[in-house]
Chains A and B, each alone.
Chain A
């Protein structure tokens, strides 16, 4: 814990110094080539019968003299409602049950990133912090970007490290660490005057406490006493995520096609695919509409089970976020942009996760369909 504190205060000091420099060196002058944006976003999310989240976010970014890049954001997550805690087969089939009082939690997060350009290279450092009653995360990242080929090709390499602490509002004695190292490599390539593609690979290895301190499994047997096991997961997790994004503009309808795909794989046995397609087109002067559809499918973790088998295993979780299911989420965004740099974006979306949507069928029986909807409004000013 002491090493982490020293490390994070040293990094904070470095970032503070870096942040102070451009402000001293760059005098304010008319027509200065400083571009940036500041904005405010408000998210509202509601699950049918379960959780409700309200999140205001404040954010900003600036590029000073084409040399310094700064970005920062801060958010507060206000979470109320219920979260399933127990999976029990008392009724014959395993079902999620909500026990205990409903949750009321606040999570504060902020992140800062500073970068400096040296010719074709840009080096950045970032810091992220997240704090709630039962979880604290400190993370930092380093990134290097190389613009090649008259900026038609960009290579990115990054390293990140997170030091987290897992606690529980039910159990004050719980205070366990979780450490994660992440590595990223990406390529961005301009394909034509109207098309661009980006592909990145992210590998993360983590160790520490991954158990969900609030979840339990209770299984009744016809011929034996019932078994009871709190959520127990492996002490490490190796993950791979490969993301590819494609953007293609069509000058005649003045519209853009956006396609994103991500393949995820980890050593817990989970394989997941995410595919999102969107079509953004103008509807009136200053307005654009963006309908989108997102499909998600994941396989179950090796140790996922809604009932406890016999003999009782050492590792087991009945958290349905580790089960096999699929999800479909349509969304619609309306964007307003005017000449003086004001942008107002409103997005409405619906999330539907179900066993039946698992790709190729075969979703876990115990998966309880999730229905949620969200709305967010973002107002920003570009300067």
Chain B
């Protein structure tokens, strides 16, 4: 009986420890480098984007709200990229073919990256799909969006405009 209670307590402690690393507003942007999604070229480096307002998004072909978030982010990227706005979309599909199938119906023009070993997802402590992290020009995470609705789209546009006004 005592052994079972000890085992249960140890499990709960392990679970608690796993979730204390939370990436919320105020945290610095994790310096992740990742290969581009299904295309050659230099890997994507988040650290190199310092000085711009960055939105780091985690998406997948099986994520239903991504049907709304991806075109919304694409529209925002086209609108604000000249003012220093960058978007990096980390794909969480198990196969690139699934990602490509999604992109055929929902094409985007911003940077897409792979995250096969879950290094980025773990560094950003992704708790929902999609998850978006809005980072200011100084490399500090200012807002985390979990899930994506029409309200999220409106809020995000407003937040991006505000952050673009801030100096690097």
Question: Which A residues contact B (CB, under 8 angstroms)?
Answer: 30-33, 35, 63, 65-66, 150, 251, 339
Contact = CB atoms under 8 A, between A and B. Distances in A.
A232 to B, nearest CB: 53
Nearest to A34: B67
B122 interface: no
A66 B65 contact: yes
Given A150-B127, A339-B101, A31 B64 contact: no
A31 B65 contact: no
Contacts of A31: 67-68, 70-72, 106
Contact of B64 (A63, A150, A251, A339): A63
B94 interface: yes
13 contacts: A30-B71, A31-B68, A31-B70, A33-B64, A33-B65, A33-B67, A35-B64, A63-B64, A66-B65, A150-B127, A150-B128, A251-B94, A339-B104
Ranked nearest first, the 5 interchain pairs of A and B with the lowest CB-CB distance are A31-B71, A33-B68, A33-B67, A339-B101, A33-B65
Contacts of B65: 33, 66
Contacts of A30: 71
A287 to B, nearest CB: 14
A65 B101 CA distance: 21
Nearest to A65: B149
A35 B67 contact: yes
Contacts of B67: 31-33, 35
A32 B127 contact: no
B142 to A, nearest CB: 24
A33 B127 CA distance: 20
Contacts, number: 25
B161 to A, nearest CB: 21
Contacts of B68: 31-33
Interface of B: 64-65, 67-68, 70-72, 94, 101, 104, 106, 127-128, 149
Contacts of B104: 339
B64 A66 contact: yes
Contacts of A65: 149
Given A32-B67, A66-B65, 14 more contacts: A31-B67, A31-B68, A31-B70, A31-B72, A32-B68, A33-B65, A33-B67, A33-B68, A35-B64, A35-B67, A63-B64, A65-B149, A66-B149, A150-B128
B78 to A, nearest CB: 14
A282 B64 CA distance: 25
A120 B84 CA distance: 38
Contacts of B101: 339
Contacts of A66: 64-65, 149
Of B67, B68, B70, B72, which is in contact with the most chain A CB atoms at under 10 Å from its CB?
B68
Nearest to A249: B94
Contacts of B71: 30-31
Contacts of A63: 64
Nearest to A151: B128
A320 to B, nearest CB: 46
Contacts of A251: 94
B128 to A, nearest CB: 8
A33 B71 CA distance: 11
Nearest to A63: B64
A235 B72 CA distance: 61
A69 to B, nearest CB: 12
A302 B65 CA distance: 54
Contacts of A35: 64, 67
A65 B71 CA distance: 15
B72 to A, nearest CB: 7
Contacts of B72: 31
A28 to B, nearest CB: 13
B143 to A, nearest CB: 21
Contacts of B127: 150
A158 to B, nearest CB: 24
A35 B68 CA distance: 11
A35 B64 CA distance: 7
Nearest to B101: A339
Contacts of B94: 251
Of A35, A63, A66, A251, which is in contact with the most chain B CB atoms at under 10 Å from its CB?
A66
B97 to A, nearest CB: 9
Nearest to B106: A31
A31 B149 CA distance: 12
A246 B131 CA distance: 30
A150 B146 CA distance: 12
A341 B65 CA distance: 18
A339 B102 CA distance: 9
A253 to B, nearest CB: 14
A189 B54 CA distance: 36
